[in-house]
């Protein structure tokens, strides 16, 4: 028996019902017999399933990533701990100072003998790193009440990489957590656009093959078939971000096989769909 469509008649379904339908539809997309029912769903239902599938895949991937970040950090600290000493030196020659920014710039001038700051945020010379205190970087107004206007560190202090491995890795881990919401939105938009283009590509390919075989296939039927046939590809591609699955072209091959099977199985449904669309237009 076909599952009820939660988007039917334009009603906005509850979150739990929508999540349950998405998971059930994903499982049903693994069975070719379900595709004749899929292509009869409204376009809003198909797109709702797709966007929610991308969202859920990214959400699960994000949770897995957050759980694994401490393990990655400990692994990197352990690898750096194998070094007794890791000294780094630089031999730099400049024609003129490098300036980043305008009002409060960061300046790299290896030939400078500067020992304090005036309007700069930081100055890097051959012998020292001069920068504002952390309180001033967070809030410029705090500098009015700070006795220490600049911090001077010798560049030789940064030569031993192992001395700064732990604080740098900790800072990177914190930054990753802070940037996660922004990265989530960017990845959601990116994958949504990429897979929509992929569905369009499959729709075009299906139309060309149908024309070569002298068959009439409605583009929306092909689009729906491409969308549901790509369910495994969507989930595996996003999951690969945190799991590092080495599946290569297997999900792509599965998608193409399901797409061909879906088109073959939805031929009769497709004809009914076209007739109903023409009747509504007339």
The model's pLDDT over 29-67, given as tens digits with 9 standing for 90+, comes to 888 788 878 888 888 888 989 999 999 999 988 888 888
The model's pLDDT over 106-159, given as tens digits with 9 standing for 90+, comes to 888 877 777 777 777 788 877 777 777 766 665 555 565 555 667 777 666 666
Q: Which residues pair with 108 in a beta bridge?
A: 98, 124
pTM: 0.62
Q: What is the pLDDT of residue 268?
A: 46
Least confident of 92-106, 130-144, 210-224: 130-144
pLDDT at residue 266 is higher than 70: no
Average pLDDT over residues 69-97: 71
């Amino acid at each position: 028996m076909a599952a009820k469509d939660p988007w039917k008649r334009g009603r906005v379904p509850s979150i739990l019902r929508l999540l349950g339908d998405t998971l059930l539809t994903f499982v049903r997309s693994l069975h070719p017999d379900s595709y004749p029912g899929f292509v009869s769903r409204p376009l809003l239902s198909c797109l709702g399933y797709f966007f929610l599938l991308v969202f859920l895949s990214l959400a699960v991937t994000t949770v897995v990533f957050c759980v694994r970040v401490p393990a990655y950090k400990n692994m990197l600290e352990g690898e750096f701990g194998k070094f007794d000493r890791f000294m780094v030196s630089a031999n730099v020659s400049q024609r003129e100072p490098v300036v980043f920014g305008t009002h409060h710039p960061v300046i790299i001038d290896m030939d400078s003998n500067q020992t304090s700051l005036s309007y700069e945020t930081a100055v890097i010379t051959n012998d020292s790193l001069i920068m504002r205190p952390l309180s001033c970087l967070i809030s410029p107004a705090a500098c009015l009440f700070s006795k220490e206007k600049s911090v001077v560190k010798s560049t030789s202090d940064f030569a031993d990489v192992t001395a700064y491995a732990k604080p740098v890795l900790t800072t990177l881990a914190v930054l990753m957590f802070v940037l996660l919401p922004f990265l989530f939105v960017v990845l959601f938009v990116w994958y949504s656009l990429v897979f929509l283009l992929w569905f369009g590509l499959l729709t075009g390919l299906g139309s060309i093959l149908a024309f070569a075989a002298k068959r009439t296939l409605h583009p929306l039927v092909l689009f729906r078939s491409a969308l549901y046939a790509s369910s495994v590809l969507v989930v595996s591609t996003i999951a690969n971000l945190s799991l590092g699955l080495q599946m290569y072209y297997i999900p792509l091959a599965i998608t193409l096989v399901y797409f061909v099977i879906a088109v073959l199985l939805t031929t009769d449904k497709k004809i009914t769909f076209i007739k109903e669309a023409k009747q509504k237009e007339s």
